[in-house]
Amino acid sequence: MRLDIERLAAAMTACLAAACATDASSGLAGTAPTEVTLEPEVFLDGVTCGPSGLSSYVVTLLAYDDATDTTPFLLPASRPLPCATTFAMRDLVIAGKRYGALIDGYEEDASALTPFGGSSSGSRTMLRADGTTAAPRWSSQCGAGANDAMLAVYGASNEVLDCAPLVDAQPTAPSLTLDPIELVGDNACSLAAELDLRRLSGSLDLPPVLACDAPPLTLAATSGELVRLYVRVARPDGPSAGRECEALPTSGKTVAPSCTPLSYVGRVTLAPHLVGAAACPAGAFFEVAVDGAPLPGSRIACGVTAQLGPLAPGLVDLAVALFDADGKQLSGGPSCKAEVEPGRTVAAACL
């Protein structure tokens, strides 16, 4: 019942300063307290906790009578809490109600903020020491509505879990970090003194080389633009190895690319249109010879993209032989070429 919540909130606002930290008051003698808790890791979602990111946060609980309630009651806001501190409220929590939460995240330390009206006012507005209003940089909501809100169970610690990603009111430009160890492994310098880098897609201003022992390099990126790059290490006394990497930069975040396994061999794709639908009809198949030698296991149904490999790096000639459904060889197979690179899958070009 909403009236119960409103009366309890009015009566207990003065106790809020003690009730919204992890040292919340205990329940009745012999019973465990009914509480609502929230761990910062649930809503941080990649935002740094500390001086270089979100330093403190304020929680305002939304109380719903039941799963059909469309007008939640806002409980008094918590004091500003350090970003590593768990939020917990007991005195204003009623078992059987549903609870969501509004999160306000600040760059300022918790000690530098005071709720408007005093530490026990329950105000969601934060003031700095000089009396100016501090606007939250980040915001989030836990529970999109009553149906998604957490149901408080009597005598239990009820953790709020369903939080949307933080929205940054002052998003910084996205960036991409390139770390030689992440790109080719801890033994990067045993492979080569330098890593050759090549952009495959995107507009990233990528350097052509990166020293094997260089510190992580952070580059400005474009939000939402997929970046694909190729990393190659050339050993002076051995074969080259390579891998493809990609990343999707997001505003306000620094991301690292994810990469395919480092490999000394490559692969080639042969698209159906290169073979030709007329020359290679449904039910027929084709085989591929690489530099004049039939490629084992290369019998491929017409209309299917051929995945050829593993192949040694270098320029290769691909000859396509066509066969009908009965295995009789047909004329008209194309001649193709491909530049095989270690750790890459490249498309063939055909005549």
Tell me what pLDDT residue 31 has: 66
Tell me what pLDDT residue 16 has: 45
| Final residue belonging to a domain, choices 150, 168, 186 | 168
Tell me what pLDDT residue 26 has: 42
Structure tokens at 52: 């270089």
Q: Give how many domains the chain has, as a whole number.
A: 3
Considering the domain architecture, whether residues 217 and 310 belong to the same structural domain is answered as no
Matching residue, tokens 């004329």: 331
Considering the domain architecture, whether residues 214 and 246 belong to the same structural domain is answered as yes
| Final residue belonging to a domain, choices 244, 259, 274 | 259
Considering the domain architecture, whether residues 154 and 254 belong to the same structural domain is answered as no
Considering the domain architecture, whether residues 16 and 130 belong to the same structural domain is answered as yes
pTM to 2 decimal places? 0.57
Mean pLDDT by 10-residue block, N- to C-terminus, for the chain (351 residues)? Answer: 49 43 44 91 91 95 96 96 96 95 97 95 96 96 94 95 91 90 88 94 95 94 94 87 94 89 95 85 90 85 91 94 91 90 95 80
Considering the domain architecture, whether residues 12 and 159 belong to the same structural domain is answered as yes
Considering the domain architecture, whether residues 190 and 162 belong to the same structural domain is answered as no
Tell me what pLDDT residue 201 has: 94
Considering the domain architecture, whether residues 335 and 308 belong to the same structural domain is answered as yes
In this structure, what CATH number is given to the domain that contains residue 199? 2.60.40
Instruction: Provide the domain limits for residue 115.
Output: 2-168
Tell me what pLDDT residue 210 has: 96
Considering the domain architecture, whether residues 240 and 277 belong to the same structural domain is answered as no
Considering the domain architecture, whether residues 255 and 340 belong to the same structural domain is answered as no
